[in-house]
């Protein structure tokens, strides 16, 4: 693959991947008890797996899973090799599971997660039970209204019967028989027999009431069938969303302190999605012992489409940033990642991003801004947070192929901090549609500049929630804070 310098293409790079690191990644993603992950090759063979025994273990059968006698497993393997993605129920080893799989396009592999069915569908079962309870209450309400109406009609009938009791016995029987039939029928309906039909031919209001009762039971049956279909669909969607939420949360670094063995810096981050899954993300990792990468990004849409696009952006940036050896090459890595992102972007989605590399030994921070909000930089010597000037602010990732992204640099001294955020913070609205804004953000950070980066983010999040009140969160909220203590600082975190 080509890489670029300030004057354009500078050379060609090749890379070898340590397969043990891929196996470690597969094992780390299996966070829940009973969850099993594996990667299937383009010949149907198991390449990596968290299973130690059985046909899903690496080398377990040493054969193409598409040729297994178990048609259910072989059919799923064929779909995985074909590059499909889906969530399907399967049975193996005497248990029921959900199998979620998606392709790894560039390699022709497929990644899969197997999760115990009982742990996944329990929320859907609870939702179904709640819906059944509401339907039972609805049936009881209908029965009570009908009984109340018939009780009134019965009282009226008793008055008439009393008036004509002496000379109209047959007339009273003519009136009472359909009323009694209606009363008995209502009891059957209230007990759940919606197939009950009335055949009353009196030629008066009683017959009309019977026709209305028949129409009501027909409509009630249709409504119950519709509710059952909607409930089943919601259960399936909720199961899918629960899986997506777990996967997205596990993709972001969420164990703090993130680098307990390093005393030169401290870092903390959080992401609070507006929906079950979000389009914001952050990332940080060590390229080597002296280079720390820091990334924050915001996909322009929300929900599941934004979450899927977020995964692509995160993966491309990490793939190309980890290949460079010199921070000055960051612009070339971001440029290539942008070109790859534009290749198959038929939905015209894009993401703003801020990518930086800190040289821990010197404090030099090299960064690229792709349309992201300017971070706030704290200088210990000035005791103040201020917005970082961005002299080369560029358009977002995914807009134009061939777009070149230039770098800027700043120097960290011991005690300096940087705060990255997405516009979900500044655009947060209270109940009167007032926005949180940049000024309130900088004022909040400057209230207590002696806080650790962990306290800074947690206190700011509490301030945002207090400002918003009961208003609905309209955008994802993401923030990352880094404090630099200096190279070789042995007492920094204490």
How many residues are recorded in the chain? 494
Which of 118, 151, 169 is the C-terminal boundary of a domain? 118
Q: What is the pLDDT of residue 323?
A: 92
Regarding whether 216 and 138 lie in a shared domain, the answer is yes
In a domain, residue 98? The reply is yes
Regarding whether 160 and 114 lie in a shared domain, the answer is no
In a domain, residue 237? The reply is no
d(Cα 299, Cα 314) in Å, to the nearest integer? 11
- Report the CATH number that the domain containing residue 13 is assigned in CATH: 3.30.450.20
d(Cα 171, Cα 158) in Å, to the nearest integer? 12
Which of 118, 140, 170 is the C-terminal boundary of a domain? 118
Question: Which of 247-255's residues contact partners 24+ apart within 8 Å by CB, and which partners?
Answer: 247/29, 247/113, 248/273, 248/277, 248/278, 248/307, 248/310, 248/311, 250/29, 250/31, 251/281, 251/311, 251/314, 252/281, 252/282, 252/283, 253/282, 253/283, 253/284, 253/285
Q: Tens of pLDDT along the chain (494 residues)?
A: 888 888 888 889 887 777 777 777 777 676 666 678 888 888 888 888 887 777 677 765 557 888 888 888 889 889 988 989 888 888 877 778 888 888 987 788 888 888 877 776 666 666 677 767 777 776 777 777 777 767 766 676 677 666 655 555 555 556 667 777 777 777 777 677 767 777 777 777 777 777 887 788 777 777 777 887 777 777 776 665 665 566 666 778 888 899 999 999 999 999 888 766 667 889 999 999 999 999 999 988 776 777 778 888 889 999 999 999 899 999 999 999 999 999 878 888 899 999 999 999 999 999 999 989 999 999 999 999 999 887 665 789 998 888 888 899 999 999 999 999 999 999 999 999 999 999 999 999 998 888 899 999 999 999 999 999 999 887 889 999 999 999 876 554 54
- Count: domains in the chain: 3
Q: What is the pLDDT of residue 451?
A: 86
In a domain, residue 10? The reply is yes
In a domain, residue 385? The reply is yes
Q: What is the pLDDT of residue 34?
A: 63
Regarding whether 142 and 41 lie in a shared domain, the answer is no
d(Cα 461, Cα 270) in Å, to the nearest integer? 9
In a domain, residue 50? The reply is yes
In a domain, residue 56? The reply is yes
Regarding whether 221 and 202 lie in a shared domain, the answer is yes
In the DSSP assignment, the letter for residue 473 is P
Regarding whether 398 and 310 lie in a shared domain, the answer is yes
Regarding whether 203 and 73 lie in a shared domain, the answer is no
Regarding whether 401 and 312 lie in a shared domain, the answer is yes
Regarding whether 411 and 323 lie in a shared domain, the answer is yes
What is the span of the domain harbouring residue 12?
2-118
- Report the CATH number that the domain containing residue 364 is assigned in CATH: 3.60.40.10
The label of the residue with tokens 């992950």 reads: 37
Strand partners, 364: 411
Nearest-CA neighbor of 317 among 344, 285, 289?
A: 285
The answer to whether the beta carbons of residues 365 and 357 sit under 8 Å apart is yes
In a domain, residue 343? The reply is yes
Would you give the end-to-end CA distance of the chain in angstroms? 44
Regarding whether 200 and 112 lie in a shared domain, the answer is no
How far out from the chain centre does Cα 101 lie?
A: 16
Regarding whether 11 and 97 lie in a shared domain, the answer is yes
In a domain, residue 139? The reply is yes
Q: Longest C-alpha distance within the chain, in Å? A: 115
Regarding whether 67 and 49 lie in a shared domain, the answer is yes
Cβ count within 10 A of residue 297: 26
Regarding whether 130 and 113 lie in a shared domain, the answer is no
Which of 196, 229, 262 is the C-terminal boundary of a domain? 229
């Amino acid at each position: 693959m080509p890489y670029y310098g300030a004057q354009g293409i500078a050379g060609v790079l090749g890379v070898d991947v340590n397969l043990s690191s891929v196996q470690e990644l597969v094992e780390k993603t299996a966070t829940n008890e009973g969850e099993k992950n594996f990667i299937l090759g383009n010949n149907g063979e198991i390449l990596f797996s968290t299973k130690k025994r059985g046909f899903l273990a690496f080398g377990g059968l040493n054969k193409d899973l598409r040729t297994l006698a178990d048609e259910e497993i072989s059919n799923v393997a064929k779909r995985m090799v074909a590059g499909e993605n889906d969530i399907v129920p399967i049975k193996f080893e005497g248990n029921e599971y959900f199998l979620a799989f998606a392709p790894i396009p560039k390699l022709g592999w497929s990644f899969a997660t197997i999760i115990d069915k009982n742990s996944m569908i329990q929320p859907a079962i609870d939702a179904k039970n709640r819906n059944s309870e509401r339907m039972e209450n609805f049936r009881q309400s209908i029965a009570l209204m009908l009984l109340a109406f018939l009780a009134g009609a019965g009282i009226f009938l008793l008055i008439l019967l009393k008036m004509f009791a002496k000379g109209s016995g047959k007339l009273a029987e003519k009136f009472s028989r359909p009323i009694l039939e209606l009363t008995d029928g209502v009891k059957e309906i209230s007990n759940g027999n919606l197939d009950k039909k009335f055949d009353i031919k009196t030629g008066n209001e009683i017959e009309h009431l019977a026709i209305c009762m028949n129409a009501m039971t027909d409509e009630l049956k249709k409504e119950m069938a519709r509710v059952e279909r909607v409930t089943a669909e919601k259960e399936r969607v909720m199961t899918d969303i629960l899986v997506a939420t777990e996967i997205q949360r596990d993709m972001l670094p969420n164990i703090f302190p993130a680098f307990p063995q390093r005393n030169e810096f401290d870092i903390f981050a959080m992401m609070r999605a507006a929906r079950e899954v979000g389009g914001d993300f952050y990332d940080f990792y060590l390229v080597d012992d002296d280079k720390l990468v820091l990334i924050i990004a915001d996909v322009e849409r929300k929900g599941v489409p934004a979450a899927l696009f977020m995964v692509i952006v995160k993966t491309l940036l990490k793939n190309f940033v980890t290949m460079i050896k010199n921070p000055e090459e960051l612009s070339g890595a971001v440029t290539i990642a942008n070109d790859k992102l534009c290749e198959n972007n038929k939905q015209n989605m894009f993401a703003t991003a801020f990518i930086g590399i800190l040289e821990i030994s010197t404090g030099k921070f090299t960064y690229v801004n792709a349309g992201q909000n300017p971070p706030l930089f704290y200088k210990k010597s000035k005791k103040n947070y201020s917005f970082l000037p961005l002299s080369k602010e560029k358009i977002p990732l995914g807009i134009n192929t061939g777009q070149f992204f230039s770098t800027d640099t700043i120097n960290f001294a011991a005690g300096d901090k940087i705060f990255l955020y997405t516009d979900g913070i500044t655009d947060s609205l209270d109940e009167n549609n007032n926005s949180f804004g940049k000024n309130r953000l900088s004022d909040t950070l400057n209230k207590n500049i002696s806080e650790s980066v962990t306290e800074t983010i947690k206190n700011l999040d509490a301030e945002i929630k207090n400002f918003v009140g009961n208003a609905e969160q309209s955008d994802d909220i993401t923030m990352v804070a880094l404090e630099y203590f200096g190279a070789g600082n042995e007492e920094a975190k204490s």
